[in-house]
Amino acid sequence: MTTLMGDFGRRMRKNRMAMVGLFVVVALFCVAIFAKYLAPYPPDRIDTSRILMPPSKENLLGTDILGRDVLSRIIYGSGVSLSVGFVAVGISTLIGVVLGALSGYYGGWVDRIIMRFVDVMLCFPSFFLILAVIAFVGPSIWNIMIVIGVTSWMGVTRLVRAEFLSIKERDFVQAAISQGAGDARIIFLHILPNAMTPVLVAATLGVAAAVLVESSLSFLGIGVQPPDPSWGNMLTEGKDNIEIAWWMSVFPGLAILITVMGYNLLGEGIRDSLDPRLKI
């Protein structure tokens, strides 16, 4: 295990793009955790004397239509966006791992039922499915987390199923079966730990996708609701004033771009570092 982790760390350090992604992700974590200390102003502080002011020493990224500091709202919005991303990915990963494990391990009618359900879910365009559900249950940060999670588990299910189909035929699993180990022990102690590599990669990439979906929903007005700061609803406020206050749209858009790019680079780097075909 130590050798494998050392090899993984060495490959990650050699991958410059992966290290850039790791730096971005760590920086975003720090910004979200220490938002209270990093933001120069409270995110809901209204100053009617500084409405739509361009970037300056007092407001580094300018102000919005209510005189609120854009930088402060972006900093606080990072916590909202990342919370949605991690909770949604946690839900989707949990569902995907359980269903994929059952499908791959038991096969037969269990596999057929689960995979047909996956096929049915994949028939619906995921974003429009999320829109429909949010319109029905109502917009809130918790509803968004849950809805994104329960509509994005299909890819993880397929990955875990494929890994289980391969691993369950290996000698160490057959030895555990011959010694009388129960199904739960074999699934969770013998097979699942060896099937988590693609899940880790999928989860990392899934955070970026969830952040993008949350921003899109907030931009359409059915995501995180004002006055809570979200990069998506900041873009909505900025689009009506883009000709006279470009900073209201550009800086939240850059925050989304950097976040999605950072998680994608990190996910690709983890995948490449864990790929045995790249060993030298």
pLDDT of residue 91: 93
pLDDT of residue 180: 75
Check pLDDT > 70 for residue 4: no
Per CATH, the number for 22-38+63-275 is 1.10.3720.10
Distances (CA, A) of 126 to 74, 95, 147, 155, 156: 27, 16, 10, 12, 15
Burial 61-73 (b: 16+ CB within 10 A, else e): bbbbebbbbbbbb
Distances (CA, A) of 169 to 86, 96, 126, 189: 33, 21, 34, 15
Rounded percentage of the chain residues whose pLDDT exceeds 70: 95
pLDDT of residue 184: 83
**In terms of Cα–Cα distance, which of 87, 115, 88, 86 is closest to 100?**
115
Model pTM score: 0.85
Distances (CA, A) of 163 to 97, 103, 104, 106: 11, 11, 8, 13
Q: How confident is the model at residue 243 (pLDDT cuts 50, 70, 90)?
A: confident
Q: What is the 3-state secondary structure (H, E, C) of the chain?
A: CHHHHHHHHHHHHHCHHHHHHHHHHHHHHHHHHCHHHHCCCCCCCCCHHHCCCCCCCCCCCCECCCCCEHHHHHHHHHHHHHHHHHHHHHHHHHHHHHHHHHHHHHCHHHHHHHHHHHHHHHHCCHHHHHHHHHHHHCCCHHHHHHHHHHCCCHHHHHHHHHHHHHHCCCHHHHHHHHCCCCHHHHHHHHHHHHHCHHHHHHHHHHHHHHHHHHHHHHHCCCCCCCCCCCHHHHHHHHHCCCCCCCHHHHHHHHHHHHHHHHHHHHHHHHHHHHCHHHCC
pLDDT of residue 254: 93
Phi, psi of 99 (to 5 degrees): -70, -40
pLDDT of residue 279: 47
Count of other CB atoms within 10 angstroms of residue 30: 12
How far is C-alpha 144 from the chain's CA centre? 13
Q: Over the stretch 87-140, which tens digit does the pLDDT of each residue have?
A: 999 999 999 999 999 998 888 899 999 999 999 888 887 788 888 888 787 777
How far is C-alpha 257 from the chain's CA centre? 13
On whether the CB atoms of residues 120 and 63 are closer than 8 A, the answer is no
**Paired tokens of 14:** 């050699």
pLDDT of residue 269: 85
Q: Over the stretch 165-213, which tens digit does the pLDDT of each residue have?
A: 888 878 788 787 778 777 788 888 888 888 888 888 888 888 888 888 8
pLDDT of residue 141: 81
Amino acid found at 130? I
C-alpha 186/C-alpha 199 separation (Å) is 18
Domain ranges, ordered by start, for the chain: 22-38+63-275
Instruction: Please give the mean pLDDT across all residues of the chain.
Output: 85
Give the pLDDT mean for 35-58. 88
When mean pLDDT is compared across 152-156, 176-180, 262-266, the lowest value belongs to 176-180
Highest mean pLDDT among 9-13, 47-51, 227-231, 255-259: 255-259
C-alpha 81/C-alpha 78 separation (Å) is 5
Name the residue with tokens 């994005």: 152
